[in-house]
Amino acid sequence: MHRAHTAFSLALSPMAHKNFATWLLKSSSSQQMAKVTAAAAVRTYNSAAAEPFANGSTASYVEEMYNAWLRDPTSVHTSWDAYFRSNSYVSPPNLAPVQANTLPLTAFNFGGAVAGAAPDSKTIDDHLAVQAIIRSYQIRGHNIAHLDPLEINTPELPGNSSTKSIYANFSFEPSEQDMDRQFKLPSTTFIGGDEASLPLKEILNRLENVYCNKIGVEFMFINSLEQCNWIRKRFETPGVLNFSPEEKRLILARLTRATGFEAFLAKKYSSEKRFGLEGCEIMIPALKEIIDVSTELGVESVIMGMPHRGRLNTLANVCRKPLNQIFTQFAGLEAADDGSGDVKYHLGTYIERLNRVTNKNIRLAVVANPSHLEAVDPVVQGKTRAEQFYRGDQEGKKVMSILIHGDAAFCGQGVVYETMHLSDLPDYTTHGTIHVVANNQIGFTTDPRFSRSSPYCTDVARVVNAPIFHVNADDPEAVMHVCKVAAEWRATFHKDCVIDLVGYRRNGHNEIDEPMFTQPLMYQKIRKHKNCLDLYADKLIAEGTVTAEEVKSVAAKYENICEEAFALAKTETHVKYKDWLDSPWSGFFEGKDPLKVAPTGVKEETLIHIGNRFSSPPPNAAEFVIHKGLLRVLAARKAMVDEKVADWALGEAMAFGSLLKEGIHVRLSGQDVERGTFSHRHHVLHHQLVDKATYNSLQHMYPDQAPYSVSNSSLSEYAVLGFEHGYSMTNPNALVLWEAQFGDFSNTAQSIIDQFISSGQSKWVRQSGLVMLLPHGMEGMGPEHSSCRVERFLQMSSDDPDYFPPESDEFGVRQLHDINWIVANCSTPANYYHILRRQIALPFRKPLILCTPKSLLRHPEAKSPFSEMSEGSEFQRIIPDNGPAGQNPSNVKKVVFCSGRVYYDLTKTRREKQLEGEIAIVRVEQISPFPFDLVKEQANLYKNAELVWAQEEHKNQGSWTYVQPRFLTALNHSRDVSYVGRACGASTATGSKAQHIRELNALLNDAIST
């Protein structure tokens, strides 16, 4: 297949047609053109060097492919299919069929040749040359298009005309006469409209206009002829850029509002940062056009993610958020509700309104985001996916996402790439995102020359075959056309596309910054450059579409609207964070006791039913060939169900299955989660003989259950965790879990953890019950697979180490209500089961950070009887000592508090040393919020005992620094608790097995001694 690909690309490469297609490469001395030449040369050299086949008998191979294709187009690779369909291959005369929609060359009168006679070889060459030129325009026209309003990057072409440069380099050196010669148009162009042929001059003019004017379309890398033709048609068809007077007036009105909004803020709040859109105001009409066209095509809900630039304008003029609410944000008022809030250009919003153009109701959400550029991208995608899921919108026809980017961030931030790679994955796709780049050709103080190595800031999108529409932001009509095509593209193919709005930034990075410090020449140009609204108004006045008075009156009207809202904002005394919520959960909190937790135990028969299903092969077991090893796994599960005990995987399945039964959708996502990194889960059974035939028993627990989804993700933490966080925001009645391969890999998603999960509720009054499963434990696997860095999560917990909340029956739930997230390390399957179910039983939602085990997954003692999961049982924040020590506390000399898997090592050592009566071991299962009440109770039970905290992590890691001050508070500083464990360390764990065992033994000996 690779061979076919290489031959395909070489055969199509204009470099291969040396005679006639090098014009575009030779024709310019500009830097841009040099780049094109270099890129093309490198590409050809690389392909040939890597593939000796390409230097050999390519022709006979191509012929072979062609013969096969003639017999059956599906028998060859799609790339060959596309190639042959494009008519680019000239086959031997006896093989060439006449295409249904094309005329043979002989049907043309070539410069006086007799119609019907066979064309001479020069005529054929000239035609091929013209075909190649057309193709070259399609491939490379964007490189010399006039995209930059400041004309800093406009190519310098000889004689200032790119068409003339073509004459000069044209292989057959066309005379004036040649320019008037009629050429047949291939089926891969639409420039002719209804004409099958055109004079060469006209062909070149039309191509110049389509591909080298204010729009640069980058699409010829797409591996689909259908999609390429679709795009060609939308840009090449004569007249596509003709707008009616009404359409022009609408663009002008929208541009007036976008410009007027920034001007109004500049006037009223001259010293405030607002990250204005000046220089790229067309983004507002552009977004509105995308939304209008998408709504016409059936979209009902649009979820947007965007950075700082132009955000307030988007809220005001795209979402139509009341202007007074926006202005109130500038007033520095106190908040009327809970939360710590955020700066105005990060806040989200949710609006339901009538789209006046389409007369349809539409929901618009702008997702709140942190300063961390592009971090919101996967969150938006997850939220969009979830909304599509709950609406049953399996093809993304009703819900869509729009992501807006800055040019520097789009190419600089890796999460953009990670998010792009989710776009076509079955369990992550949102069926096409429209990306809009507000490309002001600068990032803070850095020019593109120093901020990226790719020609365009949009090159990242090429990896997913997304077409890229570059457009000069000073040409409103070109921008609107591109937006219309983008919306139609998404509705047709449900794939991503990018609009690159090339504008400029009129002010500094923010309004207080001085841009002349760093970009003096650029800003000299900007100072002299008329703004887009004025340019467009002049154009419309000159062509007679509007009058100067009309232009003024539209602007004045909008200013009045702003003034009225400004006056209204002055009467406000408080801001309300709730006004800025992006994901309202209608009805969820209504009528609920905020401190009442539903029971998490279920009937034993439910457990048995789930267990039996989970341990059974599919109903058609005779036909479905299961791997022998998995048959053993299923048999072991069945034996456990018969004994009424559960291991970790079964406990998890009990939690999922029982929630599904209750109508709660469960979604588990992460790398290799279907099987489980440690091969313990096996939720998806694979038919050993049939590809893609799978069985997932959790999807078949009950006929009326909620949907269960378990998905191996792409190898990304940042994007996938962000995605699941977004998913969890949409609907509170779902258990959404993300599992890290090993806990420490979650640190590549740190800004999702820091900026969204730990602080989202406080900043944006938005709740999430997302569960992070983080395999954690020191098991001699070396530094990188041992620690999920639980200390970091604990350090970000918001409970006060010095404050012991009032004791009451509701102590536990009140703590959960007040904290930002929950951190736990469960030691039994039953507790794992309960804590998962508790996520849904709570009357509010909190993220759960869960250290999960590795070796415990198979530990014979890490099993729970069904009685610990059935009715009446519940999550145990602390598991007291139930053995001789706990039964006879007065004999106990030492209480070892611990958390997680080390418990099993400690009990083993205690058994070996026969100290079961003298040493109590108490497990702190929920570390944060800290169970002050239960720790106090346990300490009181062992009045005379020494209290220690034992952990396997190094002293500066693990839970110690978190629990120590809280122990003292719980004990009212009347007793001390000391540390037993490894010394401080820079690394999480040793790479030496021997040292690991030495360290563990020392810890166990220190802890289990009296």
Using CB under 5 A, list all residues that contact Mg ion: 406-408, 440, 442-443
Nearer to ligand TPP, 369 or 465 (CB): 369
Nearer to ligand TPP, 232 or 505 (CB): 505
**Residue 402 β-bridge partners:** 304, 434
Tell me which stretch binds ligand TPP (CB under 6 A): 48-56, 406-414, 673-681, 927-935.
406-414
Tell me which stretch binds ligand TPP (CB under 6 A): 285-293, 439-447, 799-807, 903-911.
439-447
The values of phi and psi at residue 319, to 5°, are -85, -15
CB of 721 to ligand TPP, least distance (A): 16
Q: Is 371 in the site for ligand TPP (CB under 6 A)?
A: yes
What is the residue whose two structure tokens read 């209608």?
Answer: 586
CA 651 – CA 253 distance, rounded (Å): 61
By a kind-dependent CB cut-off of 5 to 8 A, residue 409 interacts, out of Mg ion, ligand TPP, none, with ligand TPP
CB-CB contact of 897 with 949 (8 Å): yes
Nearest alpha-carbon partner for 289 in 65, 74, 62, 486: 486
Tell me which stretch binds ligand TPP (CB under 6 A): 50-58, 79-87, 404-412, 986-994.
404-412
Among 423, 440, 899, 907, binds ligand TPP (CB under 6 A): 440
The length of the chain, given as a count of residues: 1010
- Burial code of 260-280, b = ≥16 C-beta within 10 A, e = fewer? bbbbbbeeeeeeeebbbbbbb
Residue 873 in tokens? 């049982």
CB-CB contact of 40 with 25 (8 Å): yes
CB of 347 to ligand TPP, least distance (A): 16
By a kind-dependent CB cut-off of 5 to 8 A, residue 881 interacts, out of ligand TPP, Mg ion, none, with none
Type of residue at 461:
A
The alpha helices in 913-959, defined as continuous H runs, are 932-941
CB-CB contact of 924 with 878 (8 Å): yes
CB of 503 to ligand TPP, least distance (A): 10
CA 97 – CA 916 distance, rounded (Å): 90
Nearest alpha-carbon partner for 11 in 73, 90, 67: 90
Nearer to ligand TPP, 342 or 918 (CB): 342
Nearer to Mg ion, 181 or 470 (CB): 470
CB-CB contact of 841 with 599 (8 Å): yes
Cα 171 off chain centre by: 47
**Measured CA distances, 441 to 31, 147, 503 (Å):** 17, 11, 7
Nearer to ligand TPP, 292 or 374 (CB): 374
Q: Is 660 in the site for ligand TPP (CB under 6 A)?
A: no
Nearer to Mg ion, 9 or 440 (CB): 440
Q: Is 243 in the site for ligand TPP (CB under 6 A)?
A: no
Q: Is 454 in the site for ligand TPP (CB under 6 A)?
A: no
Residue 263 in tokens? 């001007």
CB of 619 to ligand TPP, least distance (A): 51
**Measured CA distances, 647 to 119, 413, 650, 826, 928 (Å):** 80, 42, 5, 13, 25
Q: Is 416 in the site for ligand TPP (CB under 6 A)?
A: no
Nearer to ligand TPP, 382 or 406 (CB): 406
**Measured CA distances, 859 to 647, 879, 999 (Å):** 8, 18, 21
By a kind-dependent CB cut-off of 5 to 8 A, residue 444 interacts, out of ligand TPP, Mg ion, none, with ligand TPP
Residue 969 in tokens? 């508070």
CB of 722 to ligand TPP, least distance (A): 13
CB of 374 to Mg ion, least distance (A): 13
CB of 462 to ligand TPP, least distance (A): 19
Omega before 929 within 30 of 0, i.e. cis? yes
Residue 800 in tokens? 């006060």
Among 442, 640, 653, 1008, binds ligand TPP (CB under 6 A): 442
Nearest alpha-carbon partner for 479 in 532, 517, 518: 532
733's CB contacts (< 8 A; 6+ apart) are 588, 663, 664, 665, 840
**Measured CA distances, 837 to 483, 868, 869, 873 (Å):** 45, 13, 10, 12
Nearest alpha-carbon partner for 767 in 777, 758, 776: 758
Residue closest to ligand TPP when measured from CB atoms: 406
Segment 504-563, which members bind ligand TPP (CB under 6 A)?
Answer: 505, 509
Among 61, 221, 390, 444, binds ligand TPP (CB under 6 A): 444
Nearer to ligand TPP, 299 or 409 (CB): 409
720's CB contacts (< 8 A; 6+ apart) are 378, 418, 422, 428, 669, 670, 671, 713, 714, 738, 749
Among 408, 836, 848, 1007, binds ligand TPP (CB under 6 A): 408
CB of 509 to ligand TPP, least distance (A): 6
Nearer to ligand TPP, 49 or 343 (CB): 343
CA 702 – CA 445 distance, rounded (Å): 59
CA 240 – CA 482 distance, rounded (Å): 10
Nearer to Mg ion, 257 or 309 (CB): 309
Residue 870 in tokens? 């059935």
Q: Is 443 in the site for ligand TPP (CB under 6 A)?
A: yes
CB of 726 to Mg ion, least distance (A): 25
Q: Is 409 in the site for ligand TPP (CB under 6 A)?
A: yes
**Residue 334 β-bridge partners:** 574
Among 407, 474, 717, 881, binds ligand TPP (CB under 6 A): 407
Tell me which stretch binds ligand TPP (CB under 6 A): 35-43, 437-445, 832-840, 1002-1010.
437-445
CA 137 – CA 482 distance, rounded (Å): 18
Size of the site for ligand TPP (CB under 6 A): 15
Q: Is 220 in the site for ligand TPP (CB under 6 A)?
A: no
Q: Is 722 in the site for ligand TPP (CB under 6 A)?
A: no
By a kind-dependent CB cut-off of 5 to 8 A, residue 181 interacts, out of Mg ion, ligand TPP, none, with none
By a kind-dependent CB cut-off of 5 to 8 A, residue 585 interacts, out of Mg ion, ligand TPP, none, with none
Among 406, 467, 760, 775, binds ligand TPP (CB under 6 A): 406
Cα 546 off chain centre by: 43
End-to-end CA distance of the chain: 70
Segment 275-314, which members bind ligand TPP (CB under 6 A)?
Answer: 309
CA 897 – CA 981 distance, rounded (Å): 12
CB of 307 to ligand TPP, least distance (A): 6
Among 363, 372, 814, 817, binds ligand TPP (CB under 6 A): 372
CB of 406 to ligand TPP, least distance (A): 2
Q: Is 731 in the site for ligand TPP (CB under 6 A)?
A: no
What is the residue whose two structure tokens read 């007679």?
Answer: 544
Nearer to Mg ion, 442 or 757 (CB): 442
Torsion (CA) 276, 280, 281, 287 in degrees, nearest 10: -110
CB of 408 to ligand TPP, least distance (A): 3
CB of 403 to ligand TPP, least distance (A): 13
CB of 452 to ligand TPP, least distance (A): 10
Nearer to ligand TPP, 261 or 489 (CB): 261
CA 142 – CA 33 distance, rounded (Å): 11
Nearer to ligand TPP, 264 or 504 (CB): 504
CB of 460 to ligand TPP, least distance (A): 13
Tell me which stretch binds ligand TPP (CB under 6 A): 441-449, 641-649, 662-670, 754-762.
441-449
Residues engaged in binding ligand TPP (CB under 6 A): 309, 371-373, 406-409, 438, 440, 442-444, 505, 509
